[in-house]
A and B are shown apart, each in its own frame.
Chain A
Amino acid sequence: MNETITGPILTTDGIPLKVSLQKSEKRNKIRAFLLVVPLLAFILVTFLIPIGDMLLRSVDDSYINTVFPKTFKEYEKWDRQGLPSEELYKTMFFEVKESEGYAIGKASTRMNYAKSGWKSLLKKSKRKFKKIEEGPYKEQMIAIDKKWADMEYWKAIGVMVDATTAGYYLNAVDLKYNVDKDVVWQKENRRIYNQTWVKTFKVSILVMFFCLMLGYPISYLLSTLPLKYSNLLMICVLLPFWTSLLVRTVAWMVMLQQKGVFNNLLVMSHIISDENRFALMYNETATIIVMTQILLPFMVLPLYSVMKTISPNYMRAALNLGASPLHAFWKVYMPNSIPGISAGCMLVFILAIGYYITPELVGGKDGQMIGNWIAYHLKTTLNWGLCAALGAILLGVLTVLYWVYNKLVGIENIKLG
């Protein structure tokens, strides 16, 4: 393409310069990449694959297929009109009878999510099936428990036949499959997640707002003070940043509890009486107060670094031209500080939305966020599918926010002091 009269420029080796440059450029690229590879591989194996593996659990429904493979195959033939045929009862009978008790237990937990009652039914059946030697099985099974003659239970199996399910995601937003695999709302008293999602967003937004309200003025002060004072005050911002999260949470428990420092001071100064102490601990207020203090440095640091670059001459010029201080601030200083505001707000929001420790310790019952439900299902109910689905939704929200943050601020500009 590059056909000039003199031909391409050559290096001393006789290779065209362009080719030679491309080659060395490529070599440099590979070298740079090789430096990153160890960490990238490490993060992939120790961090990303585990998370991906967990996310797969949110749609995985294959276990039950390994316990009842023949039954599920036979099930396909059922027309869902009358009770199933003797053949289906028979395969079910043998698979329940011959499977390991552990496998039945695990499968029945899953089946109970589809229709409650399965667990007790299978437990009872597993015990009694041992005595049955020969068919016909249908009548004998119904004799053991009338649930075997209940169409609802048979229909519910239809929800579990596929190896993947969207059921956990539905559960995570208070929906569920009914036995006919239609999407319906959970019962009124079991709807907890939507309000938790709303609460999580509400708390995160409030924390972000309070951080901005508290962080903006002090960042301004820090950026305008002479360096020797601002360095000293900066320590007040950085020390909490370096102090253990648990230590700070303990400190707040000391401050906010019924007989804590804050209430004591109010009682001592006769603002409130001894009986009317504020309930500041173990509720949503506590979660918000403590999270604000914990996340405040993440607001101040980006704000400070942006404000540091705003020349004081802008404000002087505005004031000189007759603007009132408020007007000058609103029209001149504030717009200049918007990059800092957006960086700080996004970072605080991103970090707040997945909080777990603080709400768990100070939040009581009504200060719980979605992170606490993930932990609850992870270690208490062992409903790992739901745990993964809640995690996946949270991670989805975070990925969008993180992407926006990266576009707006640039991830390499995170400030750590």
Chain B
Amino acid sequence: MTNARTRVFLLAFGGVLVLFDAFLWFRGQYRLAFPLLAFLLTLPALIAFEWRRSGARELAAIAVMTGISVIGRVIFAPLPGFKPVSAVVILTGLSFGPLAGFITGAATALLSNFFFGQGPWTAFQMLAWGTVGLLAGLFSRTRLRKNPVVLGLLGVIGGVLFSALTDLWTTVAATGTLLPAAYLTFLISGLPFTVLYAVSNVLFLVILTRPILRKTDRLKQKYGLFT
């Protein structure tokens, strides 16, 4: 779907950023190196999404799922830590596949931060939610996709991953280095939130899995999406 010039541009852009990030690591400039690394880890998925040949219908379906999770984050904004985003992203991954899951997670973080404020943390949130969607997508073609144990595990992993990555940013931003002791302290002091993330993910999955998967499966069958 993309022309040669765009490919060359994207590869060159990614390459320059990788070199710059390596240089920053080498110089100990972790405050910029970490967010840049998080962005660089989301970049391959974004590029894969561009290069994948898929139609307008798939794009529209992913856009609806993104819209749902953005609205979920905005509606539940007054309750800190209690958000349906991971659950919706996981369900998107389970029904539409790993790439769609990643893109939904990353797009949700980017879009919803237009309401909550953009910053270096956006890169970490994109990576965290994207990875959760990707992991869920790995089960999309297996019999395990409706397995309650797998769903529960995905919810817990989602909560832990989100905590771990956002705390990584907090540690690096606050201390300028990655002191294991400081990171550990942040992880421990953020434990209530991690538990809250995980519990709310599982809770939302319990409520949403059956209705959402029924709708997305029907859509896939009716329109022949993501085959």
Does chain A bind chain B? Answer: no
Q: Which residues of B contact A (CB under 8 A)?
A: none
Q: Which residues of A contact B (CB under 8 A)?
A: none
